[in-house]
Amino acid sequence: MVKEVNEKLQILRHSASHILADAIKRLYPGVKLAIGPAIEDGFYYDFDFSGCELSEEGRGNFLKPEDLPRIRKEMIKIIKENSDFERIEMNKKDALKKFKEIGENYKVELIEGLEDDVVSIYKHGGFEDLCKGPHLESTKKIGAFKLLSIAGAYWKGSEANAMLQRIYGTAFETKDELNEFLRIREEAQKRDHRKLGKELELFSFNDLVGAGLVLYHPKGAMLRQLIADYITKKHIAKGYQLITSPQILKSDIWVKSGHYEYYKENMYIFDVDGQEFAVKPMNCPGHILVYASKKRSYKELPIRFFELGNVYRHEKSGVLHGLLRVRGFTQDDAHIFCLKEQAEEEIIKVIDFVDETLKVFGFDEVEVELSTQPEKYIGLQEDWEEATTALKNALEKKKIEYDINEGDGAFYGPKIDIKLKDALGRSWQCATIQCDFALPERFDLKYTDSDGREKRPIMLHRVILGSLERFMGAVIEHYGGDFPVWLAPVQVMLVPITDAHAQYSENVAKELKKLGFRVDIDKRSEKMQKKIRDAELAKIPYMAIVGQKEIEEGTVSLRSRKEGDIGAIKKEDLIVRLREETKAATVY
């Protein structure tokens, strides 16, 4: 079943964006308006202040965070004026003339790009803006709102265009809803994976390496490896075959697959010895070639190839965001080659795989989208329709609610996107299932059917976690860096009270490490309270303090982040406790 979108809240927020634009026009004569849509958590509006008069403080054209209260005050004034939102329709020619006369060049560009001969404008009070609508009845219908931040944004998202200033805000029907949003937002800032990545020494970025390329520190590399090990073992247990494909491939294969035509701007392309190569942005061509390396029988299908594949994509610098949007990342990528009649069942199996895996990592809720045929695509129309039907049928059989994301499928096939929801209710893109008839056709993939005739397989592209980097960022923020024992890079920190207790600590650590537990020892010449405090700040699940009494009794004094001071515990009992709390990592 298809989910309903909260249109009422979108209308409220879009109306708030118009009030923001009105306030800016009143406060900063000469400002140019760009766009101001409602977004998932609120709204924004982009402005060009380059032609503005100097501000009252004489500090130039651009806004600073301290300007937001002043703008909010003006918005409240506009809301209290209780002006009706009026829809005005005019022909395209008149609209162009109107906005040219008032110098709104961004609006002129937008109108010129419209195909319709009739243009709609919304007016409240003395303010008019190009807009499809709809809007609230009047400005006074705006509920509770807040301006959140200021950022830079290129016009139409292109670095070749003018840099604008974007003001973000949010709006709700009630103050209670707004306050709850702000509470969650404040908590989200505490959980920001970029902040925790630095504090917990997980990862970093460096200009000498390049933007969007991650340097994993020991603890971060361990966390990443734990995730990778789990998902690899899980694939093997479910009948996937491991393969590995090269990091670079000749451009010929990307031409054949269609990526060269449809995805070239996101690829790193270079010449070697007169031949053109590309760093792979996807793993599918390599998997296709492994399938095509020998004759296949219908009895072999479905064939499931799996690779933890490193890929590189040229993302614009403005969209890079910690681990969530990088240029180099790893996908838990698999491609399933199957019969037409097997496709629906295989899609359902992938959906179940996603559900099972996310629950292990502590994610119990998801949002699902079905993305349909884009304007630019390869393949036959009837194949697209059949592929879309297979995805829809799988979702319907699982009784999963989903949104339709019109025109956002891959160029080779429609897809299901599954977004996990974290502890704060935020959505994170992870799993994708794409149904593809086109690439098997392009690469002339075949299998021999029971009647001895050669036929074409269906190809399912799918990831469970998606980008390991993005998933790791989601895990960090979901837990606030306070990982469950099975995921913690360091599970136990041994803390000898003095140097005299160091050898016993070494022996305990050695015994735990032999059993596969991740243990560290704080050997620093620091006071005990500082060692304990540092272990707490590092969010290590257990601290095992060792003094003379513990040596004599063959115990450790255990302290848990969750339970506090547990007291003396025998090594054997500590091992039992750790084994119980690391069951989630067990696959077989």
Q: Which of 191, 234, 415, 419 is catalytic?
A: 415
Residue type for 373, please? Q
Query: Is the dihedral angle over the CA atoms 27, 29, 30, 32 positive or is it negative?
Result: positive
Question: Does residue 284 have an active-site annotation?
Answer: yes
- Closest to 588 (Cα-Cα) out of 160, 157, 56, 233: 233
Q: Which of 234, 335, 518, 531 is catalytic?
A: 335
Question: Does residue 331 have an active-site annotation?
Answer: yes
Question: Does residue 333 have an active-site annotation?
Answer: yes
The CB density around residue 313, as the number of other CB atoms within 10 Å, is 19
- Closest to 304 (Cα-Cα) out of 347, 351, 241, 243: 241
Q: Which of 46, 259, 296, 331 is catalytic?
A: 331
CA separation (Å) from 202 to 467, 469, 495?
17, 12, 22
SS3 content of the chain, % helix, strand, coil (to 5): 40, 30, 30
Question: Does residue 478 have an active-site annotation?
Answer: no
Q: Which of 313, 426, 470, 501 is catalytic?
A: 313
Find where tokens 């939102």 sit.
85
> Measured between alpha carbons, how far is 558 from 569 in angstroms, rounded to an integer?
7
Question: Does residue 434 have an active-site annotation?
Answer: no
Residue type for 100, please? K
CA separation (Å) from 91 to 85, 104, 126, 128?
20, 17, 21, 16
42: left (phi over 0), alpha (psi -120 to 50) or beta: left
Beta bridge partners of 337: 303, 459
Beta bridge partners of 568: 557
Question: Does residue 313 have an active-site annotation?
Answer: yes
Which ranges of 403-540 does DSSP label H, i.e. alpha helix? 438-442, 468-479, 502-514, 528-537
> Measured between alpha carbons, how far is 149 from 168 in angstroms, rounded to an integer?
5
CA 306 to chain CA centroid, Å, is 22
CA separation (Å) from 180 to 138, 173, 174, 312, 510?
25, 12, 10, 38, 48
CA separation (Å) from 82 to 124, 135, 554?
9, 14, 76
Question: Does residue 135 have an active-site annotation?
Answer: no
Q: Which residues contact 511 (CB under 8 A, 6 or more apart)?
A: 571
> Measured between alpha carbons, how far is 463 from 361 in angstroms, rounded to an integer?
16
Q: Which of 461, 518, 531, 559 is catalytic?
A: 461
Q: Which of 284, 338, 430, 435 is catalytic?
A: 284
Find where tokens 């982009």 sit.
46
Q: Which of 48, 333, 383, 436 is catalytic?
A: 333
Which positions are annotated as active-site residues?
A: 284, 313, 331, 333, 335, 415, 461
